[in-house]
């Protein structure tokens, strides 16, 4: 009888142990399962804020959440040729060095990206339209990033089946 009670108690204990664990998965909104997501936006010359060679542009991202921030991966790519090719940020053109910073918007619960263009102290804001593509990888897909050259957007696009 003691063996049966011990077995039942052990079974209940193990059951409680595994039912109290939770896992957050970034699912697609259509319920088809986890997927990498992209967001594309354009920074026009008039969108830049700042002066003296230090300019920023920020935007909230709908595909970016706490799970991706804490456990996933996210990369920003820039295109100077209207989307024909993309380079991983940070990168430079002849005048500016461009950076991307991901974080929670201090004025809301949304997450976003800030793009920064840094030039010399006499450089005006960039006077061209720039495309930015943000790729968000949910925590459930992070293992797939181990062998991906994330600097190569075409490889990232192929591995994560991006559109």
Give tens-digit pLDDT for 18-57. 323 222 333 333 344 578 889 999 999 999 999 999 999 9
Residue 25 lies in a domain: no
Residue 27 lies in a domain: no
Contact 37, 135 (CB under 8 A): yes
64-83 pLDDT per residue, tens: 888 888 888 889 999 999 99
Residue 110 structural domain: 36-159
Statement: residue 15 has pLDDT above 80: no
Per the domain annotation, does 7 fall within a domain?
Answer: no
User: pTM to 2 decimals?
Assistant: 0.73
């Amino acid at each position: 009888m003691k063996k049966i009670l011990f077995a039942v108690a052990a079974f209940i204990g193990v059951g409680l142990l595994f039912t109290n664990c939770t896992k957050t998965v970034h699912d697609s909104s259509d319920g088809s399962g986890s997927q990498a997501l992209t967001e594309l936006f354009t920074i026009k010359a008039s969108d830049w804020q700042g002066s003296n060679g230090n300019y920023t542009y920020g935007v909230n991202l709908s595909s970016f959440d706490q799970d991706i921030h804490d456990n996933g991966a996210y990369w920003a790519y820039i295109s100077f040729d209207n989307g024909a090719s993309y380079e991983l940020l940070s990168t430079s053109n002849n005048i500016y060095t461009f950076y991307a910073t991901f974080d929670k918007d201090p004025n809301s619960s949304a997450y976003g990206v800030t793009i920064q263009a840094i030039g010399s102290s006499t450089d005006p804001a960039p006077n061209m339209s720039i495309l930015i593509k943000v790729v968000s990888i949910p925590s459930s897909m992070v293992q797939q990033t181990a062998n991906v050259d994330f600097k190569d957007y075409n490889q990232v696009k192929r591995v994560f089946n991006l559109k």
